Amino acid sequence: MGDAELRAPTSERHGATLRGKGLALVVAAVVIAGDLWSKSAVFAHLEPMQNLWLLGGEGMGFGFHEVMNKGTMWGKFQNLSDYLPWVRMVAALVVLAMLLTTPAHARVMLAALGLVFGGALGNIYDGFRFQGVRDFLMVDLGWPGFDPFPIFNVADSSICVGVAFLALSMWFQPQEESPGAAAERPRA
């Protein structure tokens, strides 16, 4: 380790800092606000089991349908609803650790982590406040196997889009060479 690295604070040497992470934090805040607002607005105006089609209708459409999901994706593990907010909290801490150690120049990865982190926090809030997650977005494309598609929310969408962008950013990110690899490479 060089003299400059030794003089730098530990958080800068290891990359675990909020410096340059504003994009991710703004994205997460927007997701949380949009998620909680949309859930509150829809749940305040819809009756349980009521369908409100915004585009099209049954068989091919998009709308709202109020569901309190006590489980995970597609309503799985409903018998574990007391533990799920805590499991989601651990997952959010892992995402936060990834966010803190992501270089500031990796903007797509930071935005993706912001989407995942914001979505996770929106669903964590629901899990502790309502003992389930408020889902309401309904998509019916008439496709076999997805007829109808499971009801979801803004947080779920943000997590899925964030994970997709995270995977793409990792896939297309140039491989960084370790400091010792260049020294070990034979010279021509």
Domain range for 95: 19-44+67-131+153-172
pLDDT tens-place string over residues 12-23: 444 566 678 889
Q: Distance between CA 65 and CA 83 in Å, rounded? A: 26
- Reply yes or no on whether the pLDDT at 38 is more than 60: yes
- Cα first-last separation, the chain: 27
Greater pLDDT, 71 or 185: 71
Distance CA 84, CA 91 (A): 10
Q: Are strands 60-69 and 51-57 parallel, antiparallel or unpaired?
A: antiparallel
Percent pLDDT > 70 in the chain is 78
pLDDT band at 11 (very low <50, low <70, confident <90, very high): very low
Is 24 inside a domain boundary?
A: yes
Q: Is the pLDDT of residue 8 over 60?
A: no
Question: Known catalytic residues?
Answer: 135, 156
**pLDDT classification of 188: cutoffs 50, 70, 90:** low
Q: In this structure, is residue 90 part of a structural domain?
A: yes
In a domain, 111, yes or no: yes
Maximum Cα–Cα distance for the chain, whole Å? 74
Distance CA 117, CA 113 (A): 6
pLDDT at residue 3, rounded to an integer: 47
pLDDT of residue 170: 81
The mean pLDDT value for 76-98 works out to 84
**pLDDT at 4 > cutoff 90:** no
Residue 179 belongs to some domain of the structure: no
Does a structural domain hold residue 55?
no
Q: Among candidates 78, 62, 95, 66, which has minimal Cα distance to 132?
A: 78
Domain for residue 98, yes or no? yes
Total domains in the fold of the chain? 1
Q: pLDDT exceeding 90 applies to what percent of the chain?
A: 43
Specify if 92 maps to a domain. Answer: yes
pLDDT for residue 16: 64
Write out pLDDT tens, residues 137-161. 988 887 777 766 788 999 999 999 9
> Over 80: is that where the pLDDT of 182 sits?
no
Report yes or no on 105 lying in a domain: yes
pLDDT at site 173: 72
